[in-house]
Structure 1
Amino acid sequence: MTAGNGPDFLIIGAMKSGTTTLQAQLAAQAGIFMTTPKEPNYFSDDDVFAQGPGWYHALFDAAASGDLKGEASTHYTKLPTYPQTVARLADMVPAPKLIYVIRDPVARAVSHYIHEWSEGRMGDDPVAAFADHPELMAYSHYPMQLAPFVARFGLDAILLTSLEELKSDPDGVLSRIGPHIGSTTPLIWDHGLGAQNVSSERFRRLPLHRLLVANPVARALRRNLVPAGLRAKIRKARTHGDRPELPQSLRRELEQRFAPDRAALATLFPDHPALSLAYGFVPQ
């Protein structure tokens, strides 16, 4: 276990790849403690890191004696946005156990775009969004994201899985995670928990959202004046039924850009089932 009150293991990403579901499953296991908030982003974000190690260590204060302690921050694999992550982590946790969850890189990038679109930070044109926001692709270049962790901590520190593998063989994934993070008891997937943070339930933020929707006065007025059934219909109308669709030409371009990453990952993780599941668009 880690000396002091730091983490024993970290889920380091990738964004929109099922890390919230995995975090919830690990938090439900006896002998494992996961932080609240789920994503401290301590080693990545300058403003969070500035709060100091005392703030970060305090996130683990509620862990019981003997618990394995973990956190899950997708910002840790968001190069080039957060370049200091690995150096900062190594200073506090010299030998961490890491879990990296990937996903079909095109699907991840699209889900990332829809996330930003629903928050009102990107427009309705996906071609323009991908041209103007290179991070949509960068965060799906998994070998690039992993490279600093491999160089600093070694390949044995990293357990790879994928969203697709979490769906097809969740018990098998947990059976590998347990020994990797040092659990002495088998980890059992709680099938009653369900998926967490599902993108299809996200709705498009309207202009002036905070003023008209996300404030206590507006919420109270809606509850008192608008029938529950009508509120549900309005919310349903604002979900992803009208979300932008990726043109086939852009999809093919993304597949071509991401295809070489499968071979690069295969050199690190030969015959790993997550690769064939996540890169189904790459001919075998």
Structure 2
Amino acid sequence: MNYQPDFLIIGAMKCATSTLHDQLAMQPGIFMTELKEPNFFSNDEQYSKGMDWYLSQFQAANERDICGESSTHYTKLPTYPQTVERIYQQFPKIKLIYIMRHPIDRLVSQYIHEWSQKTVSGDINQAISQYPMLVEYSLYSMQLKPYLETFGREQILPVFFERLLNYKQEEFERICHFINYQKNPVWIEENDVQNASLKRLRDSQLRDLIVETPGLKEIRQNLIPKSWRNWVRSLWQMKEKPQIEPQRLQFLQSVFDEDLAIVGSWLGVELTCENFKSKVKNRMFGWTNQEDSN
């Protein structure tokens, strides 16, 4: 039995990592952990459970399965500074998949997620000032650099959300080839790239009790008019997509342009916030031959 991972999807958050996890899990001969986001190597609380607990997540795999897991906390510097070292200590030859997305789109998507989970408050402009992680997790060169320095280019596959969205099968084949999958992978359209943040619903036990709890469906339908249930749901819903103020947006673009210039130098392409989507959508990218840490 193969009780250890052959590859990790290390991020980034809000870049279709869950969708890729599910697509890989549906391929015969690939085993993905049932627990999504085990975050074992990043979160101290998880890491304290020990390697036996972590390896037990792979015990249901068949003997020849290629095994993997996805944990976006693995690219959340500086929040989890020990992640890379911990992974390398246990699995120095492991393959790593990192998905990137337009940094501002990713930031907005994360804000919606954090808002729905009540981990941030205020509008997006306040949150950007109050919660540095929203910007930091979109600084792809900062997140990638320690992995490149520790594991080298050959063990890391750069993937772009925008290309995965537009060329699903082609990108999926590239990902499966990278993890040494020998069969013909098929992207299942029924389990396509989804954006869970579109609901923009904030967590609320009261709302769930009134309009969501499955066991109370009959009671709700008989006693609570649908119009009233919709009104209750709307109280916890973000009405519109968050809008970043022009001055703050300009600042973010300058920050991300500087970071993207580094990522682009690693990939042999000029990347900016303005050209990001058109550049990454239309071709596959691999690392250039220059030094990893540049």
Counterpart of 2:136?
Answer: 138
Which moves more between the two structures, 184-193 or 145-154?
A: 184-193
| Cα shift at 1:183 | 0.7
Counterpart of 1:97?
Answer: 95
Q: Contact 1:8–1:68 at 8 Å: present in 2 too?
A: yes
Which moves more between the two structures, 68-77 or 227-236?
A: 227-236
Q: Contact 1:165–1:277 at 8 Å: present in 2 too?
A: no
Counterpart CA distance in 1 for 2:102 and 2:256 is 9
Which residue identity is paired with 2:187? W
Within-5 A mapping of 1:168-179: 168-179=166-177
Which residue identity is paired with 2:9? I
| Cα shift at 1:93 | 0.7
Work out which of the residue numbers 220, 225, 243 in structure 2 matches 1:226. Answer: 220
| Cα shift at 1:223 | 2.1
Which residue identity is paired with 2:78? P
Counterpart of 2:162?
Answer: 164
| Residues 1:33 and 2:27 are matched in the alignment | no
| Cα shift at 1:265 | 1.0
Counterpart of 1:15?
Answer: 13
Q: Contact 2:2–2:65 at 8 Å: present in 1 too?
A: no
What does the per-residue CA deviation read over 1:87-146, in whole Å, with 9 as the maximum and x for residues that have no partner? Answer: 110111111111000100001111111111122222232222111111110000000000
Counterpart CA distance in 1 for 2:256 and 2:270 is 17
Which residue identity is paired with 2:168? P
What does the per-residue CA deviation read over 1:236-278, in whole Å, with 9 as the maximum and x for residues that have no partner? Answer: 66433245422222222211110122221122222499x9974
Scaled by the length of structure 1, what TM-score is found? 0.87
Which residue identity is paired with 1:32? I
Shift in CA distance, 239/192, structure 1 to aligned 2, threshold 3 Å: same
Shift in CA distance, 63/236, structure 1 to aligned 2, threshold 3 Å: farther
Q: Contact 1:10–1:98 at 8 Å: present in 2 too?
A: yes
Counterpart of 1:262?
Answer: 260
Counterpart CA distance in 1 for 2:215 and 2:3 is 45
Within-5 A mapping of 1:187-198: 187-196=185-194, 198=196
Shift in CA distance, 222/232, structure 1 to aligned 2, threshold 3 Å: farther
Work out which of the residue numbers 80, 92, 96 in structure 2 matches 1:82. Answer: 80
What does the per-residue CA deviation read over 1:191-242, in whole Å, with 9 as the maximum and x for residues that have no partner? Answer: 121234521023023xxx33x24579x9367424322845466446643324
Q: Contact 2:162–2:277 at 8 Å: present in 1 too?
A: no
Which residue identity is paired with 1:19? T
Q: Which runs of 5+ in 2 are unaligned?
A: 281-294
Which residue identity is paired with 2:213? R
Q: Contact 2:207–2:233 at 8 Å: present in 1 too?
A: no
Counterpart CA distance in 2 for 1:185 and 1:276 is 38
Shift in CA distance, 176/220, structure 1 to aligned 2, threshold 3 Å: closer
Q: Which runs of 5+ in 1 are unaligned?
A: none
Scaled by the length of structure 2, what TM-score is found? 0.84
Q: Contact 1:262–1:279 at 8 Å: present in 2 too?
A: no
Q: Percent identity?
A: 38
| Cα shift at 1:53 | 0.4
Aligned-residue CA RMSD (Å): 2.7
**Aligned to 1:176, what secondary structure does the other structure show?**
helix
